[in-house]
Structure 1
Amino acid sequence: MAKAIKKAAKKTAKKAAKKAPAKAPKKAAKKAVKKASTRKPNAAFMTPLSPSATLAEVIGSKPLPRTEIVKKIWDYIKKNNLQDKKNKRMINADTKLKAVFGGKDQVSMFDLAKIVSKNVK
């Protein structure tokens, strides 16, 4: 009985050794870190876009990058408590946002990018 237990323990140790990932050499790890730090951001995200008149009522009329526009919309949503209580992915529209959302009372948060691209120049 004791021999069977020892055999089973050896088999599981061998299987675990086979499944364990091999460690990468230090040089490869340094190259990976170097590549990650030299990556440049996409300039298309940083170009200032001027908002439409309806969107300007929510975020202001100053030209902003797309990322900042989405941030300001989220600030407005949180400030006015417009996120749906039951389903946090849905945004309830007030009078200003209803015009931006194209007349819809409620929009999914995943549609914000589409809505922003319709309302900027």
Structure 2
Amino acid sequence: MLRVLRGSRVLMAAAVRGGGKASVQSPNPTVVGAASSRTASTSGILKPVPVSPAMSKFLGGIPEISRTQAIKKVWEHIKLNQLQNPANKKEICYDEKLKAIFGGRDKVGFLEIAKLLSPHFVKAK
């Protein structure tokens, strides 16, 4: 028990000397350096791709967007217009704007949104 208390006193003294802020050293500095030196290139679902005219109209004329950003915009629209079923939050009731994108369906589960957006992303040739 005495050994534990001595260790905590040493740590506290170091924190006080450092202006009240304890500095933590990374055990592997190459990992930290690797994370901060990533390139700005995007790929996969983060890469902006061309979208269909219907999706572009929904997004306000944006000709290309990443899949994650498109899903985020759809969810913003759902939250802003309170389109979730209050009794079952997993169910989305569409308005006219979303019906144009999702083929005229009235209701859909929230897990289906990404699948229904997939046809609106034009494949690169």
TM > 0.5 between the two?
yes
Structure 1 segment 1-121 matched on structure 2, within 5 A: 30=27, 34=31, 38=35, 43-62=43-62, 63-121=64-122
Deviation at 1:42, TM superposition (A): 7.2
Distance of 2:112 and 2:55 partners within structure 1: 15
So what's the TM-score if we normalise by structure 2?
0.61
Paired residues of 1:54 and 1:96 also in contact (CA < 8 A):
no
Q: Whose radius of gyration is greater, 1 or 2?
A: 1
Q: Which has the higher helix share?
A: 1
Runs of 5+ consecutive residues of structure 2 not aligned to the other structure: 1-26
Paired residues of 2:83 and 2:92 also in contact (CA < 8 A):
yes
| Percent of residue pairs bearing the same amino acid type | 33
**3-state SS of paired residue (1:99):** helix
**3-state SS of paired residue (2:88):** coil
**3-state SS of paired residue (1:107):** strand
Distance of 1:57 and 1:88 partners within structure 2: 27
Partner of 2:9: none
Deviation at 1:53, TM superposition (A): 2.1
**3-state SS of paired residue (1:81):** coil
Query: Which residue identity does 2:81 align to in structure 1?
Result: N
Change (3 A) 1:51 1:61: farther
RMSD of aligned residue pairs (Cα, Å): 2.7
**3-state SS of paired residue (1:82):** coil
Query: Which residue identity does 2:118 align to in structure 1?
Result: S
Deviation at 1:67, TM superposition (A): 0.5
Paired residues of 1:45 and 1:66 also in contact (CA < 8 A):
yes
Paired residues of 2:83 and 2:94 also in contact (CA < 8 A):
yes
Query: Which residue identity does 1:46 align to in structure 2?
Result: L
Distance of 1:53 and 1:112 partners within structure 2: 18
